[in-house]
Amino acid sequence: MCVDDLPDGRSFHFPEPNATRRQEPDTRRNPMKMTGAQALIKSLEMEQVEVVFGLPGGCILPAYDPILDSPIRHILVRHEQGAGHMAEGYAHVTGRPGVAMVTSGPAATNLVTPLCDAYMDSVPMVAITGQVSRPVIGTDGFQECDTVGITRSVTKHNELIMDPDEIPLMVRQAFHLATTGRPGPVLLDVPKDVLQADITWHWPSDEDLAASLPGYKPTLKGHPKMIKEAARLISESRRPVIYAGGGILRSRAAGALRELAERTGIPVVTTLMARGAFPDDHPLCLGMPGMHGNYTAVTAMQKSDLLIALGTRFDDRVTGKVTSFAPEAKVVHVDIDPAELGKIRRPDVPIVGDCRQVITEIVRALEGRDQADREEWRSRISGWQERFPLYYDPHVPGDALKPQYVMEQLRDCAPEGTILVSGVGQHQMWASQYWRFTEPYTWVNSGGLGTMGFSVPAAIGAKVGRPDRTVWAVDGDGCFQMTAQELVTAASERIPVKVAILNNAYLGMVRQWQEMFYEERYSEVYLSPDLPDYVKWAEAMGCAAFRVESPEEVQPVIEKANSIDDRPVVIDFRTDSREKVFPMVPAGFSNDDLVVHPSQKPGGERVVQ
């Protein structure tokens, strides 16, 4: 069995063809009859599912009856999109697949956004959707839609179950596919009459599972020749950088990454998806690269002679203009998905495999090899760190709060082990920049798809997965308005998440782009700071709520929020709409065109390197 330690300290047995998740009594001598719906819920129990996020409706209704007799906790959401993001948040912090269950038609289409989000960020998730009965399929029946067709491009695998007897095998396949190889979302679409039909229960064996997926064999071990060549390049390079992506977290490779960095003394950048994979307080940590990464991380990659890319996909937000990205660097690229190798940047050493296994193999191959002299490289990096730290102008009396200051106070007041969840926009970048991540699985965000509205439901899912941890969601006012209704879910289910709204009355990131690239022509980005009244809204949803407008209020109110543990808390921070996120690489520009804070460059000119 493949056993790994999960963030919550438990062990999860990732299913393999020869692995058994739970021993099932031999039912051949005593056949067990049940409905398809009962088989579906029993199959989830066999997969050790502890919670399902969902919303019932006509076609999925048969599956909701056996939930009453199941130990599985069901959390009733207010919108199907919320169910999907809660499943994602749960998966981010536990490493276990999140499960969402909704009905057919509009419920299924409301689930498409979180499915795509999970697909882009390689989040293990199993979605179950109801479908109209088999005789009605193809007749444009009420709430019928081609769910499998719609979700084909945003799921790792999907299946319309037409045979009731196949339900247990389909469920077992779904969890196996969602959690092995490159993780991702799997959808099962189940017609109502399939759920109502009688079946004879049979839990598939390891052999049944392996035989049902003959072509699915993810490569885990790296090729020995490629491992040896990677070790040679690493030991000879004078300006190397480890470029760590979200695959480090998906493969539980944070420990292996740290060993590689410390054995070689090579600095590490952690992408937005990998924040926490390498501790920010480690001397070798350079922080986040990319469009809003810090100066040192961006420049070190750009000036490197070797990029050791681990579980990352050369996203355009990191590379900037691809043709000018790290022009002198050779590339060792490790990824479990062979389709990622060479898709954007041609690697000199491509290695297909599980990050943890491959890194361990590389560390072993480095034994006995001398490392090149990198003293000058370390000196250059240190110089960049001293000259270009993250910076924002201090507060001026009479002005609104600085959002960066709010983030610093949230960070400094956070109990140990706090999980931070963010929406998408300026607040997301400030959250990543100003938090200090010291352990993996404490950062939850939507990286690839950039889904506004992700924060509140994902935070609820994270808190369900890690009830022992404080969970803060940082949201913008635009993001918050998209899915805030899920705080009703949190209040009614006694899930005490905390939400910090950085309320600048604008769609902040769009405003920043309009200010910088559209001559301050602010088209359709103003939201108003008072409409809605966030305190009244939050209180109406069963939350404790506060408004903060001055720096003196920030810390006391955060501490008050941290002390409340019987209901959700919302703080409306009134922040300065003029603040922009720096540094910044404008979209489509080279990383050499990095724009720093105006105070770090006279006249606010772009730094020319």
Q: DSSP state, 584?
A: B
- The span from the CA of 477 to the CA of 500, in Å, is 10
Neighbours of 600 (CB within 10 A): 17
Residue 574, strand partner residues = 503
Catalytic residue chosen out of the listed positions 509, 514, 541, 580 = 509
CA 363 to centroid of chain Cα atoms: 27
- Cα separations (Å) of 276 from 50, 252, 446, 497, 581? 26, 12, 15, 20, 21
Neighbours of 481 (CB within 10 A): 17
Catalytic residue chosen out of the listed positions 192, 402, 463, 580 = 192
Catalytic residue chosen out of the listed positions 47, 53, 80, 226 = 80
182, 183, 185, 187: CA torsion to nearest 10: 80
Catalytic residue chosen out of the listed positions 1, 142, 162, 217 = 142
- The span from the CA of 177 to the CA of 183, in Å, is 7
**Residue 431 — φ and ψ, nearest 5°?**
-60, -45
Q: Is 142 known to be catalytic? A: yes
DSSP string covering 350-390 = EEES-HHHHHHHHHHHHTTPPPPP-HHHHHHHHHHHHHS--
Q: Is 514 known to be catalytic? A: no
Instruction: Give the neighbor-by-neighbor strand order of the sheet with 240-244.
Output: 285-287, 268-270, 240-244, 306-310, 330-335, 349-352
- The span from the CA of 392 to the CA of 599, in Å, is 8
User: Which tokens in the block code for residue 326?
Assistant: 């790290």
Q: Is 192 known to be catalytic? A: yes
Q: Is 1 known to be catalytic? A: no
Residue 529: asked if its preceding bond is cis (omega within 30°), the reply is no
**CB contact at 8 A, 498 and 569:** yes
- The span from the CA of 257 to the CA of 429, in Å, is 24
Q: DSSP state, 222?
A: P
CA-based angle 516:517:520, to the nearest 5?
65
Q: What is the 3-state secondary structure (H, E, C) of 48-81?
A: CCCEEEEECCCCCHHHHCHHHHCCCEEEECCCHH
**Range 43-69 burial, b when 16+ CB lie within 10 A, else e:** bbebbebebbbbbbbebbebbbebbee
Q: Where are the beta strands (DSSP E) in 388-543?
A: 419-422, 443-444, 471-476, 498-503
Neighbours of 328 (CB within 10 A): 10
User: Which tokens in the block code for residue 588?
Assistant: 């489509």
β-strands 2-5, 11-14 pairing: antiparallel
Q: Is 509 known to be catalytic? A: yes
The single residue listed with the structure tokens 């609104």 is: 400
Catalytic residue chosen out of the listed positions 16, 32, 34, 143 = 143
User: Which tokens in the block code for residue 524?
Assistant: 């359709």
Catalytic residues: 80, 142-143, 192, 509
